[in-house]
């Protein structure tokens, strides 16, 4: 999988832009605040329909403009497809091959791109909600049904929590809450099963990546921690009934789950160095990017290499060479490894313009 062409119209700092790419490394260099991250954001938008840095769509529209557009031509094993995101009046319209999508799950999956930026270290050090959100995004790219299940689960959870709040302090669980619990358990166990399968699929490749990136010094372990044993969510809900009535909120389900992440048996969040944490997050996301071995994702690394020591930087460059195409950004060539720069398509980004360097 690789991106053949990218067009931007009134997107962020870009009035009009058209870029063509080949396979291999694409290095985007330039001073800070010149538009490198905007390009990474645009490509990520074509992958998920959602910006990794902005939840308000209208803020992605250039100052003074009414609409913005991002269009991409993607080469896949099964042929080329076009993806289009138009932002107007704070609303996004998504299209595949010129046909407007009615639902997000019709759009997601056309381009599998993996964005990695400095803040992604929070994936292993931050709150559980960040890891749950990441799992939701990654699994949705690969299993359209998952996104539908997730939407239905959230709707049911909202209804059950509302009923619990009304029943707060009651001595016994109302019938309405019990009915919502049955549906919540059915949907929740499907989500948990998909998450467990996803984590099991990438945990061993991530372990191997961490070993190679660290010079064989670090062993990474990633395990899914469920608030309910698979197949037992309804029973777990029944067991938590008194606590839920007291607190007025659902305490069991995939919305409460987390990942247990360790290096050499010790918690990454509490005991790892910043370099180890960053490497663990990289290993995790790059492993996910290779899950489709025949058509791996396109990694998008935004100002990452400059924060790694020289040895890890070179090893990362060697790992990236396994991908058909990948993008990296930096302020200068010295920010990137020699293994990346060799044969890379180097572009200089300045004030909303991009030229070959």
- The CATH superfamily label for domain 1-112+292-357 reads P-loop containing nucleotide triphosphate hydrolases (3.40.50.300)
Tokens of 318: 């060697």
CB 356 within 8 A of CB 32: no
If you average pLDDT over residues 102-110, what whole number do you get? 89
Distances in Å between the Cα of 62 and the Cα atoms of 12, 41, 49, 52, 95 are: 5, 14, 18, 18, 21
Would you place residue 300 in the very low, low, confident or very high pLDDT band (cuts 50, 70, 90)? very high
Of 65, 10, 66, give the one whose Cα is nearest residue 38. Answer: 10
At 304 the pLDDT is: 87
pTM for the model: 0.86
- The CATH superfamily label for domain 119-290 reads RecF/RecN/SMC, N-terminal domain (1.20.1050.90)
| Tokens 């239905």 belong to residue | 152
If you average pLDDT over residues 301-312, what whole number do you get? 87
At 93 the pLDDT is: 96
Query: Is the per-residue pLDDT at 357 higher than 90?
Result: no
Q: How is the chain split into domains, by residue range? A: 1-112+292-357, 119-290
Would you place residue 70 in the very low, low, confident or very high pLDDT band (cuts 50, 70, 90)? very high
% of the chain beyond a pLDDT of 90: 76
Neighbour-count burial of 249, counting CB atoms closer than 10 A to its CB (0-12 exposed, 13-18 middle, 19+ buried):
middle
């Amino acid at each position: 999988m690789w991106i053949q062409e990218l067009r931007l119209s009134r997107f962020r700092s870009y009035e009009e832009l058209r870029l063509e790419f080949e396979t291999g490394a694409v290095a985007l260099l330039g001073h800070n605040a010149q538009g490198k991250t905007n390009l990474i954001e645009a490509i990520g938008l074509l992958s998920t329909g959602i910006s990794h840095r902005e939840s308000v769509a209208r803020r992605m529209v250039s100052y003074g403009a009414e609409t913005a557009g991002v269009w991409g031509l993607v080469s896949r094993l099964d042929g080329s497809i076009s993806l289009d995101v138009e932002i107007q009046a704070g609303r996004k319209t998504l299209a595949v091959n010129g046909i407007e999508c009615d639902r997000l799950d019709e759009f997601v999956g056309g381009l599998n791109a993996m964005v990695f930026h400095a803040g992604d270290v929070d994936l292993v050090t931050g709150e559980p909600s960040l890891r749950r959100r990441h799992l939701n995004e990654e699994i949705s790219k690969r299993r359209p049904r998952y996104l539908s299940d997730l939407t239905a689960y959230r709707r049911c959870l909202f209804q059950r929590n509302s009923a619990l709040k009304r029943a707060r302090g009651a001595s016994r669980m109302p019938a309405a809450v019990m009915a919502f619990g049955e549906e919540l358990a059915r949907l929740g166990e499907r989500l948990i099963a998909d998450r467990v399968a996803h984590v099991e699929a990438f945990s061993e490749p991530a372990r191997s990546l961490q070993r190679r990136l660290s010079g064989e010094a670090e062993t990474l372990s990633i395990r899914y921690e469920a608030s309910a044993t698979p197949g037992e969510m309804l029973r777990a809900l029944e067991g938590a009934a008194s606590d839920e009535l007291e607190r007025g909120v659902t305490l069991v389900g995939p919305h409460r789950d987390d990942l247990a992440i360790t290096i050499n048996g010790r918690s990454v969040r509490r005991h790892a160095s910043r370099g180890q944490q960053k490497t663990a997050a990289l290993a995790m996301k790059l492993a996910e990017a290779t899950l489709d071995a025949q058509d791996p994702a396109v990694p998008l690394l935004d100002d990452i290499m400059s924060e790694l020591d020289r040895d890890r930087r070179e090893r990362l460059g060697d790992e990236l060479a396994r991908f058909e195409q990948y993008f990296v950004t930096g302020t200068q060539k010295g920010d990137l490894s020699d293994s990346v720069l060799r044969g890379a398509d180097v572009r200089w980004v300045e004030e909303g313009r991009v030229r070959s360097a």
